[in-house]
Structure 1
Amino acid sequence: MSTGKNPGRHPAIPATLRHDRFVAFAFASAHLLLETDDDGRIAFAAGARCGLTDRTTEDLVGQSLFDLLPAEEHAFIRMLLARLIEGGKLDLTHVVMRTVAGQRSAMMMGGCRLPNHPNRCFLGFTIASGLTERMAGRCLPELKIFVESLERRLSVAGVAEHDQRLSLLAVEGLAGMPASDAIRGDVEAYLLSVSSNGDAAVRLNDERYAVLHNADLTREEIASDIGRLLVRHGADDLCDALHVWQLPVQGGDMPLSDVARALSYTLQTFAAGRPGALGIADVNSAVVDMLQSTIGRVGQVRRILEQRDFHLAYQPIVNLVTGKLHHVEALMRVGDSASPAEFIAFAERVGLICDLDLLVLQTALDALKAAHDQKRAIPDIAINLSAVTLNSPLMVEQLQTVLRPYGIIARKLLIEVTETAAVHDFRGLNQTLDRLRRMGLRVCLDDVGSGTTSFLSLNELRVDYAKLDGRIVRGALTNSRDRAILHSIVEIARHINIELIAEQVETDAQLHHLRQLGVRYGQGYLFGKPSASLSNLDQGMPSRPARRTGKQVSWE
């Protein structure tokens, strides 16, 4: 028997409900709704005032949208409206508004056009917190800020099923143009208008930019659009100096975090490199090849870390007065290479240095535990940790997690802090070093006098030891400048009660000079080469140390 109902169809929806439903959806996703004409004149306003008026929201009607913006944001918003008028849809975009109190307010703006209402722009504004900081009308000022958000941006794009591309832009000669500031302002407004969320463009230097955007925007379109901007400013000559490269950002099986690292490294190289080095003559292939090569290298580093495909070699550090072994330094070795310097530098530049440091630390702890379990004498071990790692907010917690299972054995570690040239927050680093000491660890400042570790680091950081750079140690006997630097470091260390360790001690003459200066500890081929086993280390200085002459030795 028929019930008169068709289960395959929805019941009729009253027109009022359909209207109210769309209104509800609009206010569920936006704080403020504005309807404007194509010139930005507001015809309708509803919702929260969002600080844009000190009266009612309806009082915004009749004003221009541009009255609610800082002047620097005008060119950017005009380009957004032009894209909305042309395409009919505007994805959520980071815009900067100006409140009635004169403050800048970050908002997300989305928009659409309706077929039955030509010459109308329907805009929704949401007050946003936690957005990447950018100046009104300007690209992000620092690559670091852009890179930090890159993985998140790629993840969001993946969830939203939006393919992304990264375009690199160079306008060679722009910096020398009389109207460079005005040209740059329009170029940045354009890049922001096409970027993901309106804040995914970064100024790399005075002539280079990078922008993350939807994949349907081609590099030819970008070049054409910016070319028109240059012509508008009378800078026709720059059109021939305009170059755009475009990179896909899909990583296949590679984690998005590693894709972001490879893109970051490519951007750093692009920002620092000479134009010719990046294949301007062969427009796109050189930069694409660079990215693909970097992705391969990041994958290789990741595999080495996951498989622990490295080993440690231990070099003795002796007391120069007694000749007794004081501790050893754990030196990382990858494959057959004697020096891991390039591998470590790359890991640091692509953001994998923290993972590497923690694995090296754990490997050294495993060696200590094995020696302890076999009832063998256990030397103290120095481990290199970069200042980048130690400045990581989660580092101490991760370090404690690694150390905890080893108990009192972990107190045999001495932490050598490397790459302090990158440190800008000595106060924060000192807090980390103090926490390490409370955990029973001692701390050494590496490579003092090398140029990368300055006298400022020696003076500012609270450490137990400082390691003299080997170049200074070697040069002090023949070079007055190196000798003056060495003597100054010794004097400073004496006043602030820090013990010194000399690197690359190779001759009796160097040993005698260091003793005269009061340097207490030394490391170098005079006392022993790095050994793969803790049990093979000499327990002191050889009775007849040999001089090293001729071929220069490669050192860590």
Structure 2
Amino acid sequence: MDQQPKSRQVTDRDRFLTFALAAAEILVETTPDGRILFAAGALNSRLGRPAEDWLGRQARDLLALPDRPGFDLAFARLLARDRLPPTRFRLANGAGTPVSCAGLRLLGRDASRLCLTLGAMPAERPADLPAPAGPAGLWQAAEQTARDGGDGCMLGLIELREADRPLIPSPDAAARIRETIAGTLGSEDLASELTPGRYGLIARGGSDIGALGEAIAAAAGNGATAATRGLALEAEGLTPLQRSRALRHALACFSREGLERLDGEGFAEGLSGFVAQVYARAARLRQAIADRRFQLAFQPIVALADRQPHHWEALLRPDPETRAAIGGVQDFVTFAETAGLSEELDWAVLAAVCAAARRVRGARIAANLSGLTLQSPGFRDRLLTLLDAEPLLSHRLLIEITETAEIENEAEAVRTVEALRQRGLLLCIDDLGAGAAAFRYLRAFRVDYVKIDGLYVTAATHSEQDRSVIAGMAELARSLGARVVAERIETEEEASLMRALGVEYGQGWLFGRPGPLPGPLPGGGQAAAPVGPNALAS
């Protein structure tokens, strides 16, 4: 056989790249956390930046903002199964160009890398993986954008009003508003109703907040007006955690109480104004944690098949004085994380849960643990010392890993998870779907349960997209050996739907509201949540 001249010889890599680009426009190679290591193809013509500019960025950045939550789920499936079938997304360009994305774990020695192809849509549409829609998708995209630095984006908040009072649109008006939003947005923008009459917009592609507000008011009819507020997602001098926590608090305040609440929380000065207020309150918050100015309420998690309680989740309830000074439960947690007090708060809550577990036999209690705390060697040593001194606690506790703050030192977090598993603790990933980090947790940690964010459960009865997302998350969790809990179940319709979608456990008002922990005490009687520093000593 004739040998090719040396000048004409090609490497296997050149040949395979050529084959791949014959079927796709863009090729990327990523780490398991989605960071791009190699890029080739039509990146400059399609996305306006050459291939070298994409190195080190996240693969999800290639796609339109509304499609990124769906990509996070697809990428998690790729990690779990080594393959991603062709899935429809849109590129992050002005046209929102539809592409078919497929993926495969790298063959050969370096199987830690993932290969993705993005190509023009074929004649027959491939199987779609719907992106999470509604409030959950908007919250996740807004927090991720703020965490990444803002990238010139603006969060628009729009509130329907009538005679200077908040207006809740009728069902017909709400349907018209949804159609108006869908027909008005740019391809790189994302908008959703957050609560009835209140809407959020992430403006990246040029959408005008005021114009969208006027369009929503016109669709509502009957003389409705729209009050609007823009909040820049960029904030110099803040850490990614501070930006995302400030943004979460802004969305929570607006969803609960509208635009009027934002100024009182410091948002007239942007995200930095809120963080400044947090630090002004930090001393009061630290004292509230040290004095255990909270109680615990316990809500059952039941098996959907027979409605029997499986375990209880311990829920934080600040006392009235603290609530008046700082805010509700989520505000309390957000302030603690923003001010760097999450470890102190987590230990105080865990101590209270342990006190309850000692008092009530036969009940397993779930305690929430922040991602920030999970990666702390000091907290780990303190917790393991407690468990080694009281081995029975390992069989009475369950740890829910929350995504309120993204884990940075994954190696330390894995050490904590494995050490807890060795002592018999069950572990759960909380709020799967509320952010991209939870999918990475599912890959990195061996857990027994995952909990699907309640925003999807609420929307699933009327949204095919959300039903598909829940089914996909349930299938992914099962493939990794974890069982699935759906939170915020309030109706029989929702309970039946969750079972049909592959969910095994449920939590929500349908099964019981938060209250005292039921069950006999060693001396008889009913257990109550421990209160006060003396009851919580451990």
Question: What's the TM-score, normalizing by structure 2?
Answer: 0.44
**Larger CA Rg, structure 1 vs 2:** 1
